[in-house]
Amino acid sequence: MKKHLVLFRYLLLAAAGVIILFPGSMANAQEGVDKYIGVASKKQSHRITTKEELFEFLKRQYLNKSASNDTPIISRSDNVQFALARILTDDYDVHCDPAHGNLLPANHYIAGSVLSSMNFIIEVQYGNKTAKNQLAFQMKTIDNHCKDIDELNKVKEFLDEFVTESEEWHQIVLSAREKKAAADARAKEVQAAADARVKKEKEAAYAKHIDEVRKGTVSEIKNFNDALIFYDAQNGTSLAMHPRVQPDNKLYGISGVILERAEHDGDMLIIRLSYSRYYAFVTHALAIEHNHGDIKNLRIGMPLNIIGKYIGNEDYTTVGGETRTAVVFKAVYLSQ
């Protein structure tokens, strides 16, 4: 009579929203997980005949499922329900429902309700608020099914023992998850520090490279971005779209596509700016002289990066007969 009061108090506290943590060995928590996780997937080599064997089997299953962060619900398989029915009959002298021939053992129905209650107990331990009401409802189902008060108390005695047992499992899982969370946090800190160090090294190397490009101490200009820095050129896209009345002879960078040479063997290329309907005229002799562009390697219809002095404007007529003005750049750098 005293033992089933543990479950009764457990239900009252659960209904009040209190999560119970029974005393357990936290020091050996990880050892317990290491011992049991993964074993549940192995087939049982013998039939479950005692409460201890049932709890051992369920513990292995529980800890195996706890490897994820989900609530480790225990099995409702036929072999577990049959074993529990036999244990209630043989070890607890419970006879809440009779056997059904050779198909179902005595207490098969009540064993199913008890298994459901065991899972709701686990869910309450993991903070599932709706499970409290479901547990209370399942206990009423057991009360209604077991008419004999002594047998009902024995069922509750079994559930009391499961509460104590499952809380020990819960403590093992909590400890293992806390250790894993701490290890993950440390790993993240180490990775973040390594990433920050790599980022700092890359930024320092890039800053050094930029400084060398600006000073002209690099052996060659490898790309358009380096060329923009080397020549201290401004973005010329807006200028090409809206030319100045008076060209300023400053250096600008633009990107576009080569349409054609203005005249056979002439020095001027006609460029259409990338993603626009605007054009620019580019002379290339100076770029060749600086060894920053070779007309022999340029291809019509291909993208082209240009840095050049804004030296003039050139009118042209569109297919629709409209007269427009294009900028003229004297290129010091060309690349495709």
pLDDT of residue 19: 40
Give the count of alpha carbons within 13 A of 113, CB side only.
21
pLDDT of residue 40: 39
List the pLDDT tens digit at each of the 336 positions of the chain.
Answer: 444 445 544 554 444 444 444 434 334 434 444 443 333 334 443 588 899 999 999 999 999 998 887 899 888 888 899 999 999 999 999 999 888 877 889 999 999 999 999 999 999 999 998 999 999 999 999 999 888 999 999 999 999 999 999 999 999 999 999 999 999 999 999 999 999 999 999 999 888 888 888 887 877 777 888 889 888 999 998 888 899 999 999 999 999 998 887 765 567 888 888 877 888 888 876 666 555 666 667 788 888 898 999 999 988 887 778 888 889 998 888 887
CA distance 73 to 123: 8
Distances (CA, A) of 157 to 27, 96, 166, 231: 29, 15, 14, 87
Q: What is the fold of 229-335?
A: OB fold (Dihydrolipoamide Acetyltransferase, E2P) (2.40.50)
pTM > 0.85 = no
> In this structure, are strands 268-273 and 279-283 parallel, antiparallel, or unpaired?
antiparallel
Look at phi and psi of residue 127 and say left if phi exceeds 0, alpha if psi is from -120 to 50, else beta. left
Q: Where are the domains of the chain?
A: 4-184, 229-335
For residues 314 and 279, is the Cβ–Cβ distance under 8 A? no
Q: Which amino acid is at 247?
A: P
Beta bridge partners of 283: 268, 330
Q: Which residue is associated with the tokens 């009779």?
A: 98
- Dihedral sign for Cα atoms in the order 293, 294, 295, 296: negative
Contacts of 63 (CB under 8 A, 6+ apart): 32, 33, 36, 37, 40, 72, 169, 172, 173
